[in-house]
Structure 1
Amino acid sequence: MKAVVCSQGEFTVRDIPAPRPGPGQILLQVARAGICGSDLHLRAYPDQLADTFASVGYNDSPRSSDEVVFGHEICGEVVGYGPDTHRRWRPGSLVVSMPMIRTGRTPYLVGSSAQATGAYAEQIVVQESMTFDVPNGLSAQHAVLTEPMAVGWHAVRRSRISKKQTAYVIGCGPVGLAIIGMLKAGGVRTIIASDFSPTRRRLAARLGAHVVVDPRTADPFESSPNPPKLGTLPEYINLGFDAMEKMRKAPKAPWWLAFRAMHQLQLGDSGAVVFECVGVPGMIDSLVEAAPMMSKLVVAGACLEPDTIQPMRAIGKEIDFLFSAGYNPGEYRDTLHMLADGTVDPAPLVTGTVGLHGIDAAFTALGDPERHAKILIDPLSTAVAP
């Protein structure tokens, strides 16, 4: 079969042996694959990524000298089954799959491993247990976006944001845009998006951001129609004074029980939720400085460099930190159905499609945020430019 192989940062289209499904696995004919920002990182900084993955116990991330087929955003038609499968779908059925397989007890990340060929190819092997049929006639063009949109849904769910809280999305690349779409789907009433790119700002608005700002001309934290009640430390301290003065007017009242109840029920001013989707050194600390008191900072941007923060500033503002990556099978399935039932419209994200011979040009085009957001791959297409 034909596939796009990356080695030493260079892409070549080659004939390679077709993959064979092992126990519990399915063979798919690739209908669409998506190009992810992490694919761009994997091409440019494979050794750095391999070291990072190794530090958390995953030792199969490819290095620059390896030959690997990228592609972890997967949609395809069922072609065949390996042994020990339930054969859930008829041949030709359109499915999507989480990008992971395993041999015995050894897992591999599909498209990020020399041992697990990705979807930049005509065919791919996926795990049956991690595969889902595409419902409601959803097109492959949109079904393939289940994976990146599930990343956004996972970040939103990890944040535990309420509909009344204000969400700030800093950086409107693919991850930021996915988070905006999922915040909108979750009913969050105030979504503020910030990006330097006019094109990305327009996409943010289409996906559901209520306020979109250019950080060169406006501070996103001063652009909300619902300003935070606790913007500074003095305001926070004065809140305590005001509460105590009111409660102690009744001398015998057990006022301390009110504070215990607030803690147990997680009441009070819960602050804003800030999604960091830029992934460059210094961004986290700058958001700690700029965000309102009691904010929750969800780090979803993939920064590959060491970074520093001023902990005392985060302590003084009682900033909560969360780091978000990936999704679980339930989130993946729910995302697929949100796309299929129209709760989330991923169409604005897709800005181009290429065939296998156009992948190198697509990677170059994705370097310009004014041109493209998400480029898909159709192995049957002859397009060499997005």
Structure 2
Amino acid sequence: MKATSLTHGQLEVVDLPTPRPGAGQLLVEVGRCGICGSDLHCRLHADQLADALELCGYPRYVRSGLSVVLGHEIYGEVVDHGPWDARRIRPGTPVVSVPLVRRGRQVDGVGLSAHAPGGYAEYVVVQEALTLPVPNGLPADLAVLTEPMAVAWHAVNRGEVTRGDVAIVLGCGPVGLAVISVLKARGVGTVIASDYSGGRRTLAERCGADLVVDPAVESPWEGAAAGHGFMTTMPDEYNAGIDAMEGLARLPVPWWTAWRALEALGTTRPAHPVVFECVGVPGMIDGVLAAAPLHSRVVVVGVCMGPDTIRPSLAVNKELDLRFAVGYTPLEFRDTLHALARGTLNASHLVTGRVGLAGVAAAFTTLADPEDHAKILIDPSLDTDVVLKR
């Protein structure tokens, strides 16, 4: 089969044996495969990522000296079953899959390990238990977005965002755009998006952002704070506390009794935004800690490749909630797929181009320019080495 392989940072089309599914696995003919930011990072920072994941107990991540077929955002049709397979999905069924495969008790990330070749190929092996039929005739260009949209779905869950919250999305690349789309699908009333790129700001508007700002001109924090009752300084909070105590002292009941009653009603909780950091460059998290309103909940979705420095005293004194998000659960993956199929989650604006296997290197190059593309899909059936704009 034809595949695009990464070795020492170089991408080239190679001929490889068609993989054979093992026990509990499926062979899938690839119809689409998305190019993920993680794939771009693998080309330049594979060893840094591998070192970090080795500390997490996984020593088989992509390394620069290995030849790896990338690609974990996969859509295709089932071709064959492995031995002792449940055979619940018939050949010819269009599917998407959580990109993990298991042999014995060894689990590998599809497209993120030399031991589990990915979707930058004509065929790929996936785990049947993690594979879902595509419902409602969902088009390939949308079905393949299940994986990246599930990442955003999980990040929004990690943020515990409600409809009445203000969400601030920093960075409108594919991850940020996916987060915006999920927030609006969940009915979040106010979504503020920030990016230096004019092209990405336009895409953020198309994805449903209510306010889009250029941080070189306007602070997303000022836009967020205005009219929503967020406290931006410690004296603001201290004055609010003193005002509350003076008011409670005038009541005919002990102030602590009234406070407990108000606390039970939730009225003593400070208003705060939920911030999604989707940039992933050094200094970004500390910048958020410095600029965010007091009591903000910050969900880090962007992956910073190198070491970074933060000032914990900022988070302590502002009492910020700092969370990190990666991946998704199988249920979140399923719910994302069905939201796409029902049309309640609109991801159509994310896809900006398609390319064949011979054009993957060109796609990696063009994705370095934020004004040019957001999400490029690989279609192995395309016989072209240039990126076709959608």
In structure 2, the residue matched to 1:102 is 102
Please say if 1:226 is aligned against 2:227.
Answer: yes
Distance 1:56 1:327 in 2: 17
In structure 2, the residue matched to 1:130 is 130
In structure 2, the residue matched to 1:308 is 309
Scaled by the length of structure 2, the TM-score of the pair is: 0.96
**Structure 1 residues 34 and 231, CA, compared in 2 at 3 Å: closer, same or farther?**
same
In structure 2, the residue matched to 1:285 is 286
- Percent identity (aligned): 53
Distance 1:164 1:141 in 2: 32
**Structure 1 residues 324 and 266, CA, compared in 2 at 3 Å: closer, same or farther?**
farther
Distance 2:66 2:386 in 1: 26
Cα deviations by residue, 1:331-373 (Å, 9 ceiling, x for unpaired): 1000011111111221111111011101000000100111100
In structure 1, the residue matched to 2:210 is 210
Whether contact under 8 Å (2:34, 2:375) holds in the other structure is yes
Shift of 1:259: 3.8
Amino acid at match of 2:321: D
In structure 1, the residue matched to 2:201 is 201
Secondary structure in 2 aligned to 1:306?
coil
Secondary structure in 1 aligned to 2:240?
helix
Q: Once superposed, what is the RMSD of the aligned Cα atoms?
A: 1.5
Shift of 1:91: 1.2
Q: Structure 1: which 5+ residue stretches go unaligned?
A: none
In structure 2, the residue matched to 1:166 is 166
Distance 1:161 1:344 in 2: 16
In structure 1, the residue matched to 2:272 is 271
In structure 1, the residue matched to 2:3 is 3
In structure 2, the residue matched to 1:347 is 348
Cα deviations by residue, 1:155-209 (Å, 9 ceiling, x for unpaired): 0000001111111101101111110000101111000000000010000011010
Secondary structure in 1 aligned to 2:26?
strand
Whether contact under 8 Å (2:48, 2:306) holds in the other structure is no
Scaled by the length of structure 1, the TM-score of the pair is: 0.97
Distance 2:163 2:175 in 1: 20
Distance 1:256 1:88 in 2: 60
In structure 1, the residue matched to 2:78 is 78
**Structure 1 residues 226 and 82, CA, compared in 2 at 3 Å: closer, same or farther?**
farther
Secondary structure in 2 aligned to 1:150?
helix
Distance 1:64 1:283 in 2: 26
Cα deviations by residue, 1:112-145 (Å, 9 ceiling, x for unpaired): 0000010000000000010011011101111000
Whether contact under 8 Å (2:228, 2:271) holds in the other structure is no
In structure 2, the residue matched to 1:365 is 366
**Structure 1 residues 171 and 263, CA, compared in 2 at 3 Å: closer, same or farther?**
farther
Q: Which stretch of the first structure deviates more once superposed, 283-292 or 263-272?
A: 263-272
Shift of 1:237: 1.1
Amino acid at match of 1:289: A
Distance 2:236 2:48 in 1: 44
Secondary structure in 1 aligned to 2:349?
helix
Shift of 1:15: 1.1
Secondary structure in 2 aligned to 1:247?
helix
Distance 2:98 2:172 in 1: 24
Distance 1:267 1:133 in 2: 47
Shift of 1:260: 7.6
Amino acid at match of 2:295: M
Distance 2:162 2:135 in 1: 29
Shift of 1:251: 5.2
In structure 1, the residue matched to 2:190 is 190
**Structure 1 residues 216 and 82, CA, compared in 2 at 3 Å: closer, same or farther?**
same
Cα deviations by residue, 1:21-41 (Å, 9 ceiling, x for unpaired): 111101100010000000000
Distance 2:175 2:133 in 1: 24
Whether contact under 8 Å (1:228, 1:292) holds in the other structure is no
Amino acid at match of 1:76: G
In structure 1, the residue matched to 2:178 is 178
